Amino acid sequence: MNEERGRTLIEQMSNGNEQALIEFYRTFEARMYAFALSRLNDPHEAADILNEVMWDIWRGAGHYEGRSPVLNWVFGIMHHKVMDRFRARGKHKTEELDPEMPDEPILTLEDVVNEKQEGKHLRHCLEKLSDVHREVVHLAFFEDLSQKMISDIISCPEGTVRARMFYAKRTLKRCLEKCMNRE
């Protein structure tokens, strides 16, 4: 969906147009669900969050001011709902990375994803990331968003996004190397 169409649908929703909501939902449903699932690791909670966010978008469509792209606005709402869920269940915590791990060259992600067994390792390693690191990886690699867009969505400086991405990639590479060495 292009930006102009997204803004038009939001305007139509603000006027009570249910067909606009249906089109908006169909357009964003899969991406939003995948994002929530990647953060929560629970399909029921992800579906619940998706419905909450769509309800909020429907009710708040008249408050959209157009200061950010529609996709950023949608993922920003989703991000905040996920964070609320973490706080509610007391799960939101960050895991410190081990500074003692060496920085030697490791397999690239492209090498690992090419084979099915290695894909299983990648999924395993993604699940091992902290919530904040998994979030930036998902937004960058699965949603193909820029660091600026991610920064806007999760309400943190671009430098923080870069740092999280750096540590997430490094952690993924190390985990993948360990998995490969066990075979």
What confidence tens digit (pLDDT) does each residue in 149-180 have? Answer: 898 888 889 999 999 999 998 998 888 888 87
Q: What percent of the chain has pLDDT over 70?
A: 83
Per-residue confidence (pLDDT) for residue 95, from 0 to 100: 47
8 Å CB contact between 116 and 151: no
8 Å CB contact between 177 and 107: yes
- Average pLDDT score over the chain: 82
What confidence tens digit (pLDDT) does each residue in 102-143 have? Answer: 554 454 555 544 445 556 777 888 888 888 898 898 888 888
Per-residue confidence (pLDDT) for residue 108, from 0 to 100: 52
15, pLDDT greater than 90: yes
Per-residue confidence (pLDDT) for residue 107, from 0 to 100: 47
Per-residue confidence (pLDDT) for residue 106, from 0 to 100: 52
Per-residue confidence (pLDDT) for residue 104, from 0 to 100: 47
Per-residue confidence (pLDDT) for residue 127, from 0 to 100: 84
Domains and CATH numbers, the chain: 3-89 (1.10.1740.10), 109-182 (1.10.10.10)
Its pTM surpasses 0.85: no
